Chains A and B, each alone.
Chain A
Amino acid sequence: MKRNQVNESKSVVLCAEDVWKSYDDGAITVLKGASFQAVAGETVALCGPSGCGKSTLLHLFGGLDSADRGRISVNCNEINRHSNLLHLLRHEVGFVFQLHNLIPDLTLRENCMIPTVAASVDQLIAEARLKDLTDRAGLGHRLDHRIQKLSGGERQRTALCRALMNKPKILLADEPTGSLDERTSGTVFQLLLDIVATEGVTLLMATHDRGLAARCDRILEMHEGRIHESRNA
């Protein structure tokens, strides 16, 4: 109840209004009028069976895909083919995937620096940010290690650091601990929640893990292409 009162005073940063999305020339309709809102600093879990459209919704918010119908907004700006998607990806949203999606031949440091290179961030500022994030993620001693040398948990933590390098205010996480064992998964997720809380980042996370979902402010259920509010924390 208290959380809802706080939310009412905060601005809406993610908004989906009657969003439709189909694949294979309309043969498979994944989203059928999905609508929801998330306010700044909120952590939201998207739950539902495989193929229900959780990842699709994340991709739409990240500008990686476009909706057939409806309206997707990030920070009050509608996302469509006319939007500045580069600015969105460089400064407004960060992505974490189930697979770490790091470049294996590069070191941890180099992987994390990729978004800063893309956005032409000053090297000194980028280095300071890298140190801060990796220290908090317990990776400070692994900076110059290649990705192949890191454990699964370390790789996922690296992916989290990379996603937050340019200080985005929205983190889109697609089953971020889905490839990890239960213990590592819990550790990585706790780190994710800690960093998100410290930095005031809005988290939208697709997950099958009900235990992790329960640790978010809100749980949204996706069913037959629509979103249903399941619980408020």
Chain B
Amino acid sequence: MIFLKLILTNLRRHRIRTLISVAGIAFSVAAMLTVVTILQGAIGMFSGILSSDSEIIVFERNVSDLFFSNVPAAAVQEIAGWPMVLHADPVLFGIVSSADHPIITCFGVTAADARIRKAIWISGDRLTFAQHTDDVVLGERAADFMNARLGDHVPIGHVVFHVIGILKTANGFEDGGVFMPLASAQTFFHKEGTSSVITIKLRSKDNAAQFKAMVKAKFANMIGLEDAEFTRSYSQFKILKATAWAVGGCGLILGGLGVANTMIMSVFTRIREIAILRVNGFSNLQLAGVIFGESALVSIIGALAGLSIGTCFLYMLKLVPALHGYVNVAIEPVVLLIVIALALLTGVAGALYPALYAMRVRAVEALRFE
């Protein structure tokens, strides 16, 4: 109890300084949580596009990005004929632009594709998809920012397309994208006879290993990965995750510096007290315990405040129409634990030097300290 009081005493003595340190950690944690959650959400959405009614994706081996993957139509036909495959859907990814919107994701798909079949058609008829080469279906958000309605003609790149439908999906990327018939997309992107990936629905998930082995045996330049495998191994996702944690980590380092500053000031202003504790039998470990306890408390309070601020901020972002589908507030427990652990680690690291300093205080000199 007295140990705890010794920890609390100094925090209460310098309330403003304590508050600033807590705020530093809190905003760092909030920033980390927000950045990581948004990027996890974005990765989740992209994974969702690939895993739409499928378990495996097949793409060109060793490409840095799926946009550069070329899967020949012959491969699609052959794979679709394998007995364990329920359906194989080629998808061509591309980036198109329209006035004021330089980057719009384009999906070249067949009429049988799950994205077309399972979406909610706000306007238009699903059965009319891919009947004409200049037909295009817009995601709800894309239609909104392109100010397009059913039947309109919209310029996309150097071609004018006819809007034959507007659909709504739960996926932010798809909602902000353009769906073209596969053949039209191949012509538009000068990729005749190829797609970026094939999404595979198996008759039984138990056949996944056999399917992947067959892809490896038959197509030396292609690879088949289960959705979870792909999410783990895709280099773009790895870069995004690393960036998110690095940005959040930088924030936490700044917060940690704040804690270090507080703790250094805390130790310097209580040198005499540290000497008193030493004269009364406190060991180095006990003194370090007081200092680390102080910083750990600041970090934990900061982390909890940061989690609350971050969660509120994410909910606010979710309400922004332009970000519809991009923000997933379902914070993963593992992210929560990592953020709290990092905040605690930062606080402890920030108290290292002050604790070492306190342990080196010579009571006989410190007692003369005014």
User: What residues make up the interface of A, taking CB atoms closer than 8 Å to B?
Assistant: 59, 62, 64-65, 86, 89-90, 95, 97, 101-103, 105-106, 110, 113-115, 117-119, 162, 166
The one of B273, B279, B281 that contacts A64, using a Cβ cutoff of 8 Å: B279
The one of B272, B273, B286 that contacts A118, using a Cβ cutoff of 8 Å: B286
Q: A62-B279, A101-B276 are in contact. Are A110 and B5 (CB under 8 A)?
A: yes
How far is A90 from B279 in the complex, measured between Cα atoms in Å? 8
Contact at B281–A103, with CB atoms within 8 Å? no
A178 CB to nearest B CB, Å: 14
Taken residue by residue from 305 to 347, chain B's Cβ proximity to chain A (1 for < 8 Å, 0 otherwise) reads as: 0000000000000000000000000000000000000000000
Give the chain A neighbours of B5 by CB distance below 8 A.
106, 110
Contact at B280–A162, with CB atoms within 8 Å? yes
Contact at B9–A105, with CB atoms within 8 Å? yes
B333 CB to nearest A CB, Å: 37
Contact at B2–A114, with CB atoms within 8 Å? yes
Q: A110-B5, A114-B277, A115-B280 are in contact. List 6 more A-B contacts (CB 8 A).
A: A95-B279, A101-B276, A103-B6, A106-B6, A114-B282, A118-B283
A148 CB to nearest B CB, Å: 13
The one of A101, A102, A119 that contacts B281, using a Cβ cutoff of 8 Å: A119
Judged by a CB distance under 8 angstroms, whether B215 is at the interface is: no
Q: A65-B364, A101-B367, A110-B2 are in contact. Are A118 and B9 (CB under 8 A)?
A: no
The one of A101, A105, A113 that contacts B13, using a Cβ cutoff of 8 Å: A105
Judged by a CB distance under 8 angstroms, whether B3 is at the interface is: yes
Contact at B364–A59, with CB atoms within 8 Å? yes
How far is A92 from B277 in the complex, measured between Cα atoms in Å? 16
Give the chain A neighbours of B362 by CB distance below 8 A.
64-65
A197 CB to nearest B CB, Å: 24
Give the chain A neighbours of B9 by CB distance below 8 A.
103, 105-106
How far is A119 from B279 in the complex, measured between Cα atoms in Å? 12
The one of A64, A102, A162 that contacts B364, using a Cβ cutoff of 8 Å: A64
Give the chain A neighbours of B276 by CB distance below 8 A.
101-103, 114
Judged by a CB distance under 8 angstroms, whether B20 is at the interface is: no
Judged by a CB distance under 8 angstroms, whether B117 is at the interface is: no
8 smallest beta-carbon distances between A and B, as pairs: A118-B281, A90-B281, A64-B364, A115-B280, A105-B9, A89-B281, A118-B282, A114-B280
How far is A115 from B363 in the complex, measured between Cα atoms in Å? 15
Give the chain A neighbours of B205 by CB distance below 8 A.
none
Give the chain B neighbours of A103 by CB distance below 8 A.
6, 9, 273, 276
How far is A105 from B3 in the complex, measured between Cα atoms in Å? 13
Contact at A64–B363, with CB atoms within 8 Å? yes
How far is A64 from B13 in the complex, measured between Cα atoms in Å? 28
A119 CB to nearest B CB, Å: 5
Contact at B280–A89, with CB atoms within 8 Å? yes
How far is A108 from B205 in the complex, measured between Cα atoms in Å? 72
Judged by a CB distance under 8 angstroms, whether B218 is at the interface is: no
Among A62, A97, A118, residue most surrounded by chain B Cβ atoms (within 10 Å):
A118
Among B272, B280, B282, B363, residue most surrounded by chain A Cβ atoms (within 10 Å):
B280
A129 CB to nearest B CB, Å: 14
Judged by a CB distance under 8 angstroms, whether B216 is at the interface is: no
Give the chain A neighbours of B277 by CB distance below 8 A.
114, 118
